[in-house]
Amino acid sequence: MTPPVIAVTSLTRRFPSGTALDDITLALPPGAVYGLVGANGAGKTTLIKHLLGLLRAERGSVRVFGLDPVAEPVAVLSRIGYLSEENDLPGWMRVDELIRYTRAFYPAWDDAYAEELRSAFALDPAARIGTMSKGQKARAGLLIALAYRPELLILDEPSSGLDPIVRRDILGAVMRNVAHEGRTVLFSSHLLDEVEEVADHVTMLAAGRIMLSAPLADVRGAHASLDAAFVAHVGRSAQGA
């Protein structure tokens, strides 16, 4: 059996405000698109921060490529492309400077692919990041997360700020393409229709617990829609979250 890219075992994380992750266990093999669904505060970002080594497992264990991301951050992060929810890019840089700066860190950076994405995302190389719209920043963030063809692409709420056309035609295609190449995508979302369109596998989180984790085809076979599955497993609708 192929070893999982992401292996999380009995991961629990508490904050003073409450339990953000409650005994999470997940094993995700490579070559697929994984959709992590949950309402605001469900624990999606906290789980992602553990995968990136930004939070240390208080209880349980986290392995990415078989490695502990806290103990071996360079070995893990050099193989991950990440787009954060905040998308905190340096505002003073121009798009072309951001591309030049980022490519210096990654030997596998693909110039032709970066240019293809820049053109598809209609990003002006001379545009100053600080003056760009939320959607333009999201596109720039996606470009630099993708252009070194990472083995694992982690996108935290990638569609926030993206217009529907970029979301459907570009983001979806990009994620499918990564999986077709045998690489792996994990993205979080509270938009069930988006997850239904692009994910191979769906994991539903609520109040820090996994309520359902299954191939999308199985979920579709058992429920009229992903929304119906969410209501059945989580007890309320994810829409409006």
Q: Which residues bind ligand ATP (CB under 6 A)?
A: 15, 17-18, 20, 38, 40-46, 85, 190
- Give the nearest distance from C-beta 60 to ligand ATP in angstroms: 16
- Give the nearest distance from C-beta 26 to ligand ATP in angstroms: 15
Largest CA distance in the chain: 50
Residue number, 102 or 203, with CB nearest to ligand ATP: 203
- CA angle centred on 28, ends 68 and 232, rounded to 5°: 125
What is the Cα–Cα distance from 152 to 168, expressed in whole angstroms? 21
- Give the nearest distance from C-beta 41 to ligand ATP in angstroms: 4
- Give the nearest distance from C-beta 212 to ligand ATP in angstroms: 15
Residue number, 147 or 198, with CB nearest to ligand ATP: 198
User: Kind of pairing, strands 184-189 and 152-156?
Assistant: parallel
Residue type (1 letter), 4 = P
- Give the nearest distance from C-beta 21 to ligand ATP in angstroms: 8
Contacts of 73 (CB under 8 A, 6+ apart): 53
C-alpha distances in Å from residue 77, one per residue of 43, 44, 204: 21, 19, 25
Beta partners for residue 180, in sequence order: none
Residue number, 18 or 182, with CB nearest to ligand ATP: 18
Q: If DSSP codes are grouped into helix, strand and coil, which group holds residue 7? A: strand
Residue number, 42 or 212, with CB nearest to ligand ATP: 42
Residue number, 44 or 201, with CB nearest to ligand ATP: 44
C-alpha distances in Å from residue 37, one per residue of 45, 124, 201, 211, 212: 11, 33, 11, 10, 10
User: Kind of pairing, strands 33-37 and 201-206?
Assistant: parallel
- Give the nearest distance from C-beta 217 to ligand ATP in angstroms: 25
Burial grade of 230 (CB within 10 A; 0-12, 13-18, 19 or more) = buried
Residue number, 46 or 203, with CB nearest to ligand ATP: 46
Residue number, 42 or 155, with CB nearest to ligand ATP: 42
- Give the nearest distance from C-beta 186 to ligand ATP in angstroms: 13
